[in-house]
Amino acid sequence: MRDCKAVSSAQKRRKGILARFGVNRDGSAAIEFAALAIPFALLVFAILESCIAFAAQQVVANATDDIARQLRTGQIKAADVTETSLKTLVCGRIDVIVSSGCPGLEVDLREFATFAAAAQVRVKIGSDGDIDTSDFAVDPGPSMTKNMLRVFYRWPVMTDLMRKSMSNLKDGKTLLFATATWQNEPFDD
């Protein structure tokens, strides 16, 4: 009998708390919660979105550096490199964090006469708000030449609330990119 009384008194206390909350018409607690919850949620989403995009950027940079090293040392022969094979190599290294098939992946691999000439290459955004890939090529040089590999990925901003402020391309995407510039080592072509 004591257990029944203990349970019923505990239920009454809970009902009493809820009843007091329901009777209280001030609404100050709800207004304060809403005033703090919205900016807090935006901050949390912005932090998460930034962290995930940063991790993806690092994966793209690591893949670019790894492939550039293989090209520089002759492990990947210039004659064997096509746009499709280069995209497949990059995609194989970044597929852990991007969509299957790496949609939005662009590559640019070219030989330059000097490092200064390579430094003059810029990323162009077209009038449609997307990357201008009209001058992209896949043309690596042989032994002892200067080369530059640029990898671009159109990263989708996942949080609707952040899309407008975090995207820099059309369709609510942001551009992730990595560049490696090097001189090939002496190797047999």
Per-residue pLDDT tens digits for 118-145: 999 999 888 888 899 999 999 999 999 9
Q: Tens digits of per-residue pLDDT, 12-47?
A: 666 666 666 566 566 777 788 888 888 898 889 889
Q: Tokens for 149?
A: 């590999």
Question: Hey, what are 135's tokens?
Answer: 């001058």
| Cα separations in angstroms, 181 against 57, 115, 137, 152 | 18, 8, 15, 15
Residues of 94-111 as b/e, b for ≥16 C-beta within 10 angstroms? beebbeeebebbbbbbbb
pLDDT number for residue 14: 62
Sheet with strand 146-156: strands edge to edge: 138-139, 105-112, 146-156, 173-183
Q: Which two tokens stand for residue 24?
A: 């209280």
Amino acid 167: pLDDT: 83
